[in-house]
Amino acid sequence: MALLSFSRSFTLLSSPFHFFSSRSIRRRRSFVCSLSTATDVRSRSAVLWFKHDLRLDDHPALSAAETHRFVLPLYVFDRRILSRYSDDMLELLLFALEDLRNSLKEQGSNLMIQYGCAENVIKELVKEVKATDVFIEEEVEYEMRQLIGVVKKTLETSSSLDWNLDIVMWRTPFYDVKNLKELPASYNDFKKQKLLPTSPLLPATLPVVETELDWGPLPTFSDLKEFIKEKLGKPEESWNLMKEMPAEVLLKENLSKSSETIPKSLNDKSIEQRRRDKSVFVTRKGDIVGGGTNTLLNALAAYLRYLEGTARDDWQEVHERLRNAETREGASFTSLFGPALCLGIISRRRVHYEAIKYEKERNAGFLSPFGYSAASVAAAADAVCSMEWFWLLALKSQVSNEGLYSIRIWRWRGHLIQYTVVGLEGPAILLVHGFGAFLEHYRDNINAIAEHGNHVWGITLLGFGQSEKPNIVYTELLWAEMLRDFIIEVVGEPVHLVGNSIGGYFVSIVASLWPSLVKSVILMNTAGNVIPEFSSHRFTSERQTSAAARLGAQLLLFYLRLNIRNTLKNFYPTKTNRADDWLINEMLRASYDPGVTVVLESIFSFDLSIPLNYLLEGYEEKVLILQGMKDPLLDSKAKLAILKEHCTGLAIRELDAGHCPHDEQPQKVNSIVCEWVVAVERKLTANSYSVAEGKIRK
């Protein structure tokens, strides 16, 4: 791995050097910049591709490039990137790019705006400006890593480049982690290393651009939406529309059969009025912070100083939104600043630096060993440290081959989610785990089911395993929305949904609210009740977090850590050896992740009042119940009896197993699932043929 050093403050720059790596596409050579080779650097030119690093502040690649003779800052509107963004994120993106371009212009530089496939755009620009370096920020998301790979390959195989070109991968180091492969699996062990966050870099100053170039216009929001939709077919467009309707609104609409619409935003100002007022809440909804880096830093200063109060209108607006977003203690920071952090308008370590600096101001230059003096400081510092931990875990999973399956990363609402996929063709099957588990809980199911000609997906839900555990309010509807978006964005076709325990309840919600995404449902010892005379008045969207819930979560966590082995063995009554050291250690590892107590709080606020008999209506002959009859959590016989009575068209298979039959009796479950999928697929094919034949006759 190459090293970089620059003629700037060595105090700030020494720690990030080893995070740079370079790859020459003409011949192998190291990329080393030092004071002694400054002349060589000034003869070089570079293209710097902005993606999720829309800032000048604390930008290692800009600091590396500022000594070059010529630097071309570039943003590419590539549909493969933009299609992952919500409307709010697209709005934030446009404001951030506008600010970034203005900041570069103040230096005599500019931001080039291009449209199309990033690999083709970058290749042509490299040829046009005779670039010797292309700076690309490293990513953890699978689709983004694939895209970067395409860019690299395109540059490597371009026959029109007859000079040495270095592809320089970089990242902003929060901690000085020397070797990712040696990163501890447990956050508890990681904290014992006592690594301190590195210092952010000062804003870089790029050389003045003297070349005449067509820098390109920034699109309007409506133009950008049209650009994204251009290549979408009607099915894709209709599926994407599903994501715009919250599950809660759709569920209430279905229950009441009314035309209820999405609730209005708390902010009644128009976006034009907010711009005139220099508001930091720039999107149409007006509930997240946006703009450029300086705007974000001002909003962060207001957020951190919430306890002080203020007479400033802009800070008062931040304080008002903070109160509205504080759905639980500390949740407001991720809610307000998370999207901007995702776009890299401000870096995680800059947030941490500003939070700690303010904390020292409050404490005469010292940090207390007993915690932060302000809740807003704790929320900001804890959030970015947690984000960095899960980012490191995600990156490690991408650069190493450890674990049972090849892990991929999907970013959902700014949070990092682990998933895997096995099989290249056949019916799509999505496996959803239960509470406290993760995708590897299907350790003996994924490959075996795929070998029977299926395309098998496994996902680790938000808040579990090595997926991120943000400080939010977790609900069954949130997890259902996540599964919906995963099917739409990642799987891309209707699936057979398989769920264990509470995962079974989640997939039942998905099947009920978005039936076009689901071919059939397989429930294994599912959570959820049967209510013969169900009334919609039972459902409530109010979720209250409380001190009692927080204390309960802490006590539950303490109990589970002490008794996890015995607890798991109770779940595996016929094969206790399946509750082995690997499974126990993986659950213990996750129990030390930051944010785990917040996830456990959800146990005390789950609302399972929408019964299975309501959720599974319309799925006659498309629901399979797999029931471990020795489940210690419920009376299996009684549950099957009431399911048979009030849910028509169910197929039921009883198994000599406990709460997790897929892991206790994997061979039997795999066989049943594969047979079921084949049977359902035949019926679907026959029905499609009948419909097509009927249309022809007409």
The full set of domain ranges for the chain reads 41-171, 403-532+545-685
* Residue 241: HSE in the Cβ half-sphere, 13 Å Cα cutoff: 9
User: What are the angstrom distances between the C-alpha of 88 and each of 9, 339, 343, 562, 659?
Assistant: 37, 9, 12, 44, 41
Region of poorest pLDDT, from 210-219, 295-304, 342-351: 210-219
For 403-532+545-685, give the CATH class: alpha beta
Measured on CA atoms in the order 228, 428, 238, 473, is the torsion positive or negative?
negative
Question: For residue 631, what are its two tokens?
Answer: 């489940």
List the single range of 60-69, 249-258, 627-636 with lowest mean pLDDT. Answer: 249-258
pTM comes to: 0.91
Q: What is the mean pLDDT of residues 380-390?
A: 98
**Phi, then psi, of 297 in degrees rounded to 5:** -65, -40
The rounded percent of the chain whose pLDDT value lies above 90 is 72
41-171 CATH fold:
Rossmann fold (3.40.50)
Which pLDDT band holds residue 271 (cuts at 50, 70, 90)?
A: low
Which carries the bigger pLDDT value, residue 10 or residue 431? 431
For the chain, give the number of residues.
698
The pLDDT tens digits for 147-191 are 999 999 999 998 777 788 999 999 999 999 988 989 999 999 999
Buried b (16+ CB within 10 A) or exposed e, 629-662: bbbeeeebeebbebbeebbeebbebebebbbbbb
Rounded to 5 degrees, what are φ and ψ at 49? -90, 110
Same fold, 41-171 and 403-532+545-685: yes
pLDDT bin (cut points 50, 70, 90) of residue 539 is low
Say whether pLDDT at 137 is over 50. yes
Q: What is the pLDDT of residues 496-506, one digit of tens each?
A: 999 999 999 99
Q: Please state the rounded mean pLDDT for residues 300-328.
A: 94
- φ, ψ for residue 484, nearest 5 deg: -55, -50
